[in-house]
Amino acid sequence: MKKLYILFLVLTSLSINAQSDTICNPSFEDSLTNWGTFCNGSSTGTFSINSASAYTGSLGLEMDINSIAPPSNTCALSSCAVDLQQGKFYMISFWAKSNSSNDVLVVLQRTSAPFTNYAQKTFTFTTSWKKYQLNTTDTNAVNNLKIKIKPQTNGIYSFDDFSFYPVTTLPTNTEICNGDFETGVSGWSQANSGANILAFSDSTTYQNGNFSAKIDISNTVNGQPIFSSCKSDIEKNKKYRIHFWAKSLVGGQLATATSSLSSPPYTNYGVETFTLTTNWTEYTFLSESDSTIFGNVRFAKFKFLEDGTYYLDNIWYEEVPPQPFVCDGDFETDLTNWTQTINNGAIASMSITPSQAQNGLQSAMILVNTIGTTTGSIQLTSCKTDIVKDSTYTVSFWMKGSSNGLEFNAITSFASPPYTALSANSFTTYDQWTEYCYSFSHDSTILDDIRLLKLQFLSTGTYHLDYVNVYGSDYICLPVDVNQILVGDINIFPNPSSGIVNINDLNRDYSLLAISSINGAIVQTLPLKSLKSISVDINSLEDGIYLLQFTNKKGIITTKKFIKN
């Protein structure tokens, strides 16, 4: 008897758990059993089961609602209680229509205080049957939730075939509602935050369409007002670029743009501060999250730091595909984005120096006094980045040594153990600036876990590093002319240049200069006539990389590279 009782408890438990993932009487075939209805305030409603409201089966629900004026005068339909199991994703779906185009709010809400919404979405019903869906999840188990349907306007509504069930993954719906403000500032929220904000649509000035959002800000000494887009989803490890056009009435005011959680702790997923001008200007910033967040991210959130009148328009986003990049590859700021390693008995120093630069005003300098016991004892490594599956990339960097023949390794590898190398190369320096290149590929897309360039310094001496870049597979690396490097180098400056390129140290050895694009098409030729130096006007050239091909009196060609910007 005891065993039978235990078996009964187990079966009962399984039955209860199974019911937590379902809705009672989802198609109204048992009348309104297990469904709740109510109207409050002065609103009135008739809830009936009939065949005219059936999408499938024999019966469906009809709601005839009048005198609706949310939030005080509303009518609602609510399901039986359902549960969220820890870490599971859920899909809520149903079929519905109305007698005209009407808005309906659907929430998954606690049955008791604090009445937290675990899913919320407003749908616009039409006169045709349509399937509507919304999603939810929670990191903790939550019990006793009900689906509530709240029409926002008077009308006749039909419902059938409700579902509530766990799914493996949830689709995301990333959006910026009414980003062109053509329907006023609906979908946007305003928060005084101690100061004052008044946002409204404006037809006197706009960047796109017929309206913009005009935002009057005052009393910022007591706070920073916020103007935010609707709640949205953000997908794990996807990069988004948010675009917006803005200006201010007097110019010079500061505004911060961000994507962030819409509830505490209001985590930012991308933030930048801009100085606005009196002209419409497009601004962008990047947003990214390491976990998928459903219905709780303000994709475009603006914080105003100073009193004034601001205008916003044409706010939109695009997904940014994974792509490799180099943080501060020209070393014009500092070494903050590069990881320095000096250990295993090595004695060395790394710094920025203006005394040597292949590109810009300064380069990185690595002074090696004593090499360590391993090849990785002295390393300089670029920031973490992405790569795309089966794409081939070319890493390019410029190096010179205090003497010829200083040894170093150049590696692309994973940023986490076991630090698998995707390409490993051994090089030696010349005492003149020289471009080094190598290619790599991988069979998977990797997000934020690739060190694009890891340099290991293996000889005592001084190394200079500059202009680190990544290109596609068709990039042409400037060939090294060892003889030219050893006997003297043609001096080209400034490089990059936007107008004039000066060429020195020709030593009357060259008869012709040909300028070609990176693809080999010759765009200009100049006779050198045994000149010592020459200045070349490149204003007519498009921005890009070009090759300078110097032909000497013996017909030997020396190639150099410059950049027009």
pLDDT digits (tens, 9 = 90+) for 93-113: 999 999 998 899 999 988 887
Q: What is the pLDDT of residue 179?
A: 94
Tell me the per-residue pLDDT of 195-232, one tens digit each, with 9 for 90 and over. 999 999 999 999 999 999 999 999 999 999 999 999 99
Fold match flag (339-472 vs 482-564): no
- How many C-beta atoms surround the C-beta of residue 384 within 10 A? 18
Helix (H, G, I), strand (E, B) or coil at 486: helix
Please say whether the beta carbons of 404 and 429 come within 8 A. yes
| Partners of 198 in beta bridges | 216
Instruction: Inform me whether the pLDDT recorded for 485 exceeds 60.
Output: no
Instruction: Inform me whether the pLDDT recorded for 523 exceeds 90.
Output: no
Among 49-58, 105-114, 390-399, the least confident range: 105-114
Amino acid identity of 212?
S
Top CATH class of 189-320 equals mainly beta
Pick the CATH number of 339-472 from 3.40.50.720, 2.60.120.260, 3.60.21.10, 3.50.30.10: 2.60.120.260
Q: What are the phi and psi torsion angles at 481 (to 5°)?
A: -100, 95
Query: N- to C-terminal Cα distance for the chain?
Result: 88
> What mean pLDDT do residues 179-205 have?
94
| Cα-to-chain-centroid distance, residue 500 | 38
Burial profile 555-565: b = 16 or more Cβ within 10 angstroms, e = fewer: eeebbbbbbbe
Top CATH class of 18-167 equals mainly beta
Give the residue extent of every domain in the chain. Answer: 18-167, 189-320, 339-472, 482-564
Q: What is the pLDDT of residue 414?
A: 95
Contacts of residue 333, defined as CB under 8 A and 6 or more positions apart, other chains included, come to none
Residue with tokens 């994703």: 89
Q: What is the pLDDT of residue 520?
A: 63
How far is the C-alpha of 96 from the C-alpha of 100, rounded, in Å?
Answer: 12
Instruction: Inform me whether the pLDDT recorded for 11 exceeds 60.
Output: no
Tell me the per-residue pLDDT of 402-427, one tens digit each, with 9 for 90 and over. 988 899 999 999 999 999 999 999 99
What is the pLDDT confidence band of residue 1, given thresholds at 50, 70 and 90?
Answer: very low
Contacts of residue 285, defined as CB under 8 A and 6 or more positions apart, other chains included, come to 241, 242, 257, 258, 270, 271, 272
- The CATH code of domain 482-564 reads 2.60.40.3080
Q: What is the pLDDT of residue 207?
A: 95
Q: What is the pLDDT of residue 15?
A: 36
Q: What are the phi and psi torsion angles at 70 (to 5°)?
A: -60, 150
Please say whether the beta carbons of 439 and 473 come within 8 A. yes
What is the pLDDT confidence band of residue 21, given thresholds at 50, 70 and 90?
Answer: low
| Cα-to-chain-centroid distance, residue 209 | 26
Amino acid identity of 334?
D
Q: What is the pLDDT of residue 279?
A: 95
Contacts of residue 43, defined as CB under 8 A and 6 or more positions apart, other chains included, come to 65, 66, 67, 68, 69, 73, 74, 75
Instruction: Inform me whether the pLDDT recorded for 482 exceeds 70.
Output: no
Q: What is the mean pLDDT of the chain?
A: 87
Q: What is the pLDDT of residue 18?
A: 37
> What mean pLDDT do residues 326-339 have?
90
Contacts of residue 5, defined as CB under 8 A and 6 or more positions apart, other chains included, come to none
Please say whether the beta carbons of 157 and 125 come within 8 A. yes
